[in-house]
Amino acid sequence: MTLAEYGESVMTLATRGLESKTLDPYMAGWGCRVVPSLGHLRVRMITNGAVDRTAYAWISDECLVARRRRHAQPASLRSHCSG
């Protein structure tokens, strides 16, 4: 069973009792990050290393996006936002 299949089968149980303000970002993260990155792997094949590498890749991607946004800003705003 893949992680995506497993998540689909237990998501109702895993998210019971969560308020929508919590559930919405959790589900967005699941659908936009976890499933595309790890969803194809069999649950038994997911290791700490695989999760760590995936999380580091997400962080790296966010840093690149932030850097691109910063460089796309006008110089006056860029200097203000960079501290």
- Supply the pTM of this predicted model: 0.72
Helices (H), 1-83: 3-14, 20-29, 35-38, 48-72, 75-81
State which residues of the chain have pLDDT below 70.
Answer: 71-83
The domain locations on the chain are 1-46, 48-83
Six-digit token pair at 53?
């590498």
pLDDT for position 75: 58
Q: What residues contact residue 33 under an 8 Å CB cut-off, 6+ apart?
A: 58
pLDDT for position 80: 45
